[in-house]
Amino acid sequence: MARDDADAPGGRACSLERLGNQDGLSRVWGKRMSGELSAEDFRADIKNWLEANCPPAMRGPMRDEADICWGGRNWVYQSHEQRLWLERMAAKGWTAPTWPGAYGGGGLDRTEEKVLREELDAIAARSPLESFGLWMLGPALLQFGNEAQKQEHLPKIVRGEIRWCQGYSEPNAGSDLANVQTHAEDKGDHYLVNGQKVWTSYADKADWIFCLVRTDREAPKHRGISFILIDMTTPGVSTRPIKLISGKSPFCETFFDDVKVPKANLVGELNRGWDIAKYLLTHEREMIGGGARGLLGVRALGEVLANYASDEDGQIVDPMLRTDAKRAEIDTWAFMLTLERFKDQAKAGRGVGDASAMLKYYGTELNKRRYELMMTAAGTDGLEWEGERSNDGALAREWLRTKANSIEGGTSEVMLGIIAKRILELPGG
Amino acid sequence: MNLIPTEEEALLQQSARKFLDDKASVKAFRKLRDEASTNGFDRGLWREMSEMGWAGVLVAEDSGGVGLGHRAAGVLAEEMGKTLVASPFLSSAVMAATALGTAASSESAALLPGISAGEIVVALAVDEGHKHDPAKTTLHAKPHGNGFRLNGEKSFVVDGHVADQLIVAARTSAPPTGLTLFLVDPKKKGVEIERTATVDGRNAARVRFDNVEANGDDIVGDIDGGWSILERALNAGRAALSAELTGVAAGAFGITNQYLKDRTQFGRPIGAFQALQHRAAHLYCEIEVTASAVANAGRELDRDPGAAAGAVSLAKARAIETARLAVSEGVQMHGGVGMTDEFDIGLYMKRARVGTEWLGDYAFHAERIAELRGF
């Protein structure tokens, strides 16, 4: 059952665990600093720690989106284990393995992070925490934030205490994102924000929002945008969920009506918010294209095919489906290797850059294709929308949800345009 | 496993590119084709490439090679593909050298220094019908006296018309795996070689075997033990051919992308039209994704050649589809001139078609992956 009160017995046990883990961490850290800890030792330490600390219920693939832990003030843990797993990982800083230890992160380098990921994968550990804070705001603050902002916000993201959402798109700023009109007026000691955001993921569940706002209406559109942080409990902030074709409402409209925002909440320079937005868009594309858990479907193609479309020997019966499955498998495997290749490239100190548009485009189109195949395999069973047998139409709802993959975070067409102009250097239209 | 090039591979790639641009541009290949060279390649060029160690890239140092491995072979093949270099690299330096190196007998090892030096060409005679399918080999070797007699016919033996030696896959026991590899001198009595000029301006051969005599010393590996050696050799060839095809795709894409910038219609470069931009960008993505599969196949072969079949088939399947897309989009985007012999894009289309059929087409490799994945 869901638990969310801090005084539950599990809560105290967790605190004790955390103290123990801190000791473990400093022991490992001390050894690493003194050069005693070899790569094998490091892997062995991680393996042992995971074996002891990852609850069995937190191993194995997520069944559906409800298994994802998002954290935040209002989070209702799906299980005691979910809470335990988050707290233990957060105490290590391993919800944000590469962030500096000073801000609660794991302080791992890329090689160590890879070892951690591999060992997590080896026991099929679920991700302890997904959040826009981890994916987007954290990297932005590390790059552009001041010391006070890092100290204030990063540790809470690592621990899953504050859930962030992203205020980018507006009714008239979709693919043309730089056209944002939500206005932040300088009132001396604060900004007064008025306007509307749309497609804010989970705004109704989030505690804070990071926003692109217009701070100079006279400047060219890219030069009059700033990046600010707003507490969702501030008077004048309201949200309204948008019901999607999947029947779910992961997105909201967010309204700002005379919202007072302290000036300390401006990230980076005034009117230079577009630099941060661009940085984050690149980041977001890599993540979406990579099928980051939480944004893309969690379902494996092979599993659906085996359940629905195969004979006793496991061979897919329908020859057309089998052919399509082969093609999808080939392209998926090659795409996964491409993600690996770009990760290796990033690790070698060469960024992914504009190629992230490729990962985003290819990954999302591929995911849509895979879900089409799964729906074909499931046949009329895949049409069920309600009831326990279909887990309330989980497959159908996921299939519909994938249609947004190639729209959100920059449409496929925008991605192709970026590739054409920035990589292929084709002339402007 | 790291999929980006090592420092050594990056240097190899750069020096190969420089050398090929200088000595083996598409223009050089076109000249070779126009002269209807019966060799199908430039022997002087091949000697130079061999002097740089390319022919010995998969041959161990103690057999006269440089032993850089399969990923390095892929780097070279990809660069060669970009300018459509014609050479016996795949047949002799990759496949024959792998077969002979795997067999590791003194007779087979004796040929390796000659292969690495580019002095002899050894070709692999595997295919029989119009499709690659080694499991269905029917050419047979039957015991006769102290040796064997080979009877049957091989088709599409690439570089078979100029080979100094042939490695022949012969049925000696039950299908599919009951094969023995024989080393056969093409000048032997009963061997009849018919040169077949191919669509891409290169050559292969049909080889007929009529009571061709062979003895125990001619066997590469062991009697009935040919399958695993053949698989190693074919997988090495498939991986390198995938790399070549990726180079062909990249080369075709390179000239096409340039054409999009140069060609003006309706008062602007045609590359300014979004319809073409998006197709070009999509093609770029396909090439990048395929390049990852190709790099991975080389790495897997270097790590454990016996366990790399899936990775190799992935590379070949992807390379086939990507090259097909690159050359067909290439011709289309060139418009009318794309159909002329004067423009190079057609040469890429023809080479891609040959690479598609050679060593297994998309269906062949997709099926191998499906079996691996339990589909």
Q: Which of A304, B287, A279, A249 is nearest to A287 (CA)?
A: A279
User: What pLDDT shows up at residue A241?
Assistant: 95
CA distances from B296 to A217, A386, B4, B290 (A): 51, 43, 9, 10
Look at residue A6 in the predicted model and tell me its pLDDT: 31
Asked whether the CA dihedral A409, A414, A417, A421 is positive or negative, the reply is: negative
On whether ipTM exceeds 0.90, the answer is yes
A428 lies in a domain? no
Lowest mean pLDDT among A339-343, A390-394, B123-127: A339-343
In this structure, chain A runs to a length of 429
Structure tokens at B298: 């080389």
Average pLDDT, chain A: 85
Closest partner residue to B317 (CB to CB) among A330, A344, A428 is A330
Helix A355-378 vs helix B274-303: crossing angle, to nearest 10 = 80
| Residue A240 shares a structural domain with residue A285 | no
Q: Is A383 inside any structural domain? A: yes
Choose the final residue of a domain: A267, A296, A326. A267
Residue A350: how many other CB atoms lie within 10 Å: 11
pLDDT at res. A315: 83
Q: Which of A228, A230, A223, A229 is nearest to A274 (CA)?
A: A223
CA distance A288 to A283: 9
Query: The CATH number of the domain where A235 resides is what?
Result: 2.40.110.10
**Whether residue A37 is found in the same domain as residue A147:** yes
Q: Nearest by CB to B296, which of A316, A337, A420?
A: A337
Q: How far apart are CA B264 and CA B283, in angstroms?
A: 21
Residues A299 and A372 in one domain: yes
CA proximity to B244, closest of B158, B320, B309, B296: B320
Is A238 a domain residue?
yes
Closest chain B residue to the Cα of A356, Cα to Cα: B285
Judged by CB atoms closer than 8 Å, whether chains meet at A326 and B375 is answered as: yes
What local confidence, expressed as pLDDT, does residue A33 receive?
Answer: 46
Is residue A137 within 8 A of residue A153, CB to CB? The reply is: yes
Query: Which pLDDT score is estimated for B233?
Result: 98
Query: In terms of residue numbers, what domain contains A345?
Result: 276-423
Cβ neighbours of residue A236 closer than 8 Å, sequence gap 6 or more: A193, A256, A257, A258, A259, A260
Q: What is the Cα–Cα distance from B369 to B312, expressed in whole angstroms?
A: 10
The pLDDT, as a whole number, for residue A5 is 32
B354: pLDDT strictly greater than 80: yes
Question: Based on the domain organization, do A215 and A284 belong to the same domain?
Answer: no
Confirm or reject contact between B292 and chain A (CB < 8 A). Answer: yes
The residues of A carrying an active-site annotation are: 284
Across the range A73-83, mean pLDDT stands at 93
- Identify whether the C-beta of residue B245 lies closer than 8 Å to the C-beta of residue B81: yes
Pairing of strands A183-186, A190-201: antiparallel
From chain B, the residues in CB contact with A315 under 8 A are 375
CB burial class (10 A; 0-12, 13-18, 19+) of residue B133?
middle
Average pLDDT, chain B: 96
Question: Which chain A residues are closer than 8 Å to B296 by Cβ?
Answer: 337, 340
CATH number of the domain that residue A315 is part of: 1.20.140.10
Query: Is the confidence at residue B35, as pLDDT, over 70?
Result: yes
**Stretch B319-330: mean pLDDT, rounded?**
98
How close is the nearest chain B Cα to the Cα of A282, in Å? 16
CA dist A67 and A59 (Å) reads 11
Asked if A329 lies within 8 A of B285 by C-beta distance, the reply is no
Please report which confidence band the pLDDT of residue A302 belongs to, taking 50, 70 and 90 as the band edges. confident
Q: Which residues of A touch B249 (CB under 8 A)?
A: none
State how far the Cα of B71 lies from the Cα of B293, in Å rounded to an integer. Answer: 11
CA distance B55 to chain A (A): 28
Between residues A200 and A27, the one the model is more confident about: A200
Chain A neighbors of B285, CB-CB under 8 A:
358, 361-362, 419
Is B277's CB within 8 Å of A315's CB? no
Local confidence band at B336 (pLDDT 50, 70, 90 cut-offs): very high
Domain boundary among A107, A128, A158: A158
Contact between B278 and A331 using a beta-carbon 8 Å cutoff:
no
The 8-class DSSP code of residue A264 comes to: G
Instruction: Please identify, among A158, A182, A199, the residue that sits at the C-terminal boundary of a domain.
Output: A158
Dist CA A134 CA A112 (whole Å): 18
- Dmax over Cα atoms in chain A, in whole Å? 73
Give me the mean pLDDT over the A20-39 stretch: 46
**Same domain flag for A108 and A184:** no
For B71, the enclosing helix (H) or strand (E) is: helix B70-82
Of residues B55 and A309, more confidence is placed in B55
| Mean of pLDDT values over A364-377 | 92
Residues 6+ apart with CB under 8 A from A185: A191, A192, A193, A194
- Tokens describing residue A268: 């980076």
The number of CA neighbours under 13 Å toward the Cβ of B220 is 33
Which residue of chain A comes nearest to B296, CA vs CA?
Answer: A337
> d(Cα B253, Cα B258) in Å, to the nearest integer?
8
Give A123's pLDDT tier (boundaries 50, 70, 90).
Answer: very high
Interchain pair B369, A329: CB under 8 A: yes
Q: How many whole angstroms separate alpha carbon B281 and alpha carbon B276?
A: 8
Residue A288: which pLDDT band, with cuts at 50, 70 and 90?
Answer: low
Whether the per-residue pLDDT at A298 is higher than 80: the answer is: no
Domain total of chain A: 3
Give chain A positions within 8 Å (CB) of B273: 429
How far is it, in rounded angstroms, from Cα A277 to Cα B330?
Answer: 36
Structure confidence at residue A287 (pLDDT): 61
Question: Does one domain contain both A288 and A390?
Answer: yes
Query: Cβ contact (<8 Å) for A426 and B289?
Result: no
Mapped to the 3 state alphabet, what secondary structure does B257-283 carry? HHHHHHCEECCEEHHHCHHHHHHHHHH
Residue range A99-108: mean pLDDT, rounded: 95
Q: Does any CB of chain A come closer than 8 Å to the CB of residue B290?
A: yes
Name the minimum distance, in Å, from the CA of B101 to any CA of chain A.
29
- pLDDT above 90 covers a percentage of chain B that reads 95
Residues in contact with A190: Cβ distance below 8 Å, sequence separation at least 6, in sequence order:
A260, A261, A262, A263
Output the CA torsion B368→B369→B372→B375 (10° steps): -100
Name the residue of chain B whose CA is nearest to A330's CA: B314
A172 & A34 share domain: no
Mean of the pLDDT values across residues B91-96? 98
Distance CA A277, CA A225 (A): 9
Distance from C-alpha of B279 to C-alpha of B371, rounded to nearest angstrom: 33
Please count the CA atoms within 13 angstroms of the CA of A428 that sit on its side-chain side: 0
Give residue-wise pLDDT tens across range A45-56: 999 999 999 999
Give CA–CA dist B120/B114, Å, rounded: 5
pLDDT of B256 over the 50 cut: yes
Q: Is the pLDDT of residue A23 over 90?
A: no
pLDDT of residue A285: 65
The Cβ of residue A57 has, within 10 Å, a number of other Cβ atoms equal to 14
User: Does A2 reside within a domain?
Assistant: no
Q: Torsions phi, psi of A156, nearest 5?
A: -70, -30
Contacts of B120 (CB under 8 A, 6+ apart): B92, B111, B114, B164, B165
CA dist., res. B32 & res. B41, Å (int): 7
Tell me, yes or no, whether A133 and A37 share the same domain.
Answer: yes
In angstroms, what separates the C-alpha of A365 from chain B's closest C-alpha?
11
Residue A429 is assigned to a structural domain of this protein: no
Q: Average pLDDT for residues B288-316, to the nearest whole number? A: 97
Q: Write b or e for each residue in A217-242: b if 16 or more Cβ atoms lie within 10 A of its Cβ, otherwise e.
A: eeeebbebbbbbbbebeeeebebebe
Using a CB-CB distance cutoff of 8 angstroms, which residues of chain B are in contact with residue A424? 257, 271, 277, 280-281, 284
Nearest-angstrom CA–CA distance, A87 and A83: 6
pLDDT over 70, % of chain B? 100
What's the confidence (pLDDT) of residue A36? 52
Domain annotation covers residue A1: no
The answer on A148 and A16 residing in a single domain is yes
For residue A112, tell me if it sits in a domain. Answer: yes
Q: Do A426 and B4 touch (CB under 8 A)?
A: no
Whether B273 and chain A come into contact, CB under 8 Å, resolves to yes
Q: Same domain, yes or no, for A21 and A149?
A: yes
Give A43's pLDDT tier (boundaries 50, 70, 90): very high
Instruction: Judge whether residue A4 has pLDDT over 60.
Output: no
What angle is formed at CA B299 by the lines to CA B294 and CA B300, rounded to 5 degrees?
A: 95
Judge whether B52 is closer than 8 Å to chain A, CB to CB.
no
Chain A residues in contact with B2 (beta carbon < 8 A): 344
Domains of chain B: 7-120 (1.10.540.10), 124-223 (2.40.110.10), 227-373 (1.20.140.10)
The answer, yes or no, to whether residue A12 has pLDDT greater than 50, is: no
* Tokens at B12, concatenated: 């190899």
Give A327-346 pLDDT, tens digit per residue: 999 999 999 899 889 888 87
Asked if residue A322 and residue A256 are part of one domain, the reply reads: no
* Mutation for B interface: A111, A326, A347, most B CBs within 10 A: A326
Percent of chain A with pLDDT over 70: 87
Alpha helix ranges (H) inside A55-171: 80-92, 110-122, 132, 138-144, 147-158
Q: Which of A350-359, B45-54, B272-281, B354-363 has the lowest mean pLDDT?
A: A350-359
Within a 13 Å sphere around the CA of A30, how many CA atoms are in the beta-carbon half?
6
In this structure, the answer to whether residues A171 and A147 fall within a common structural domain is: no
A14: domain CATH number is 1.10.540.10
A424 SS3 class: coil
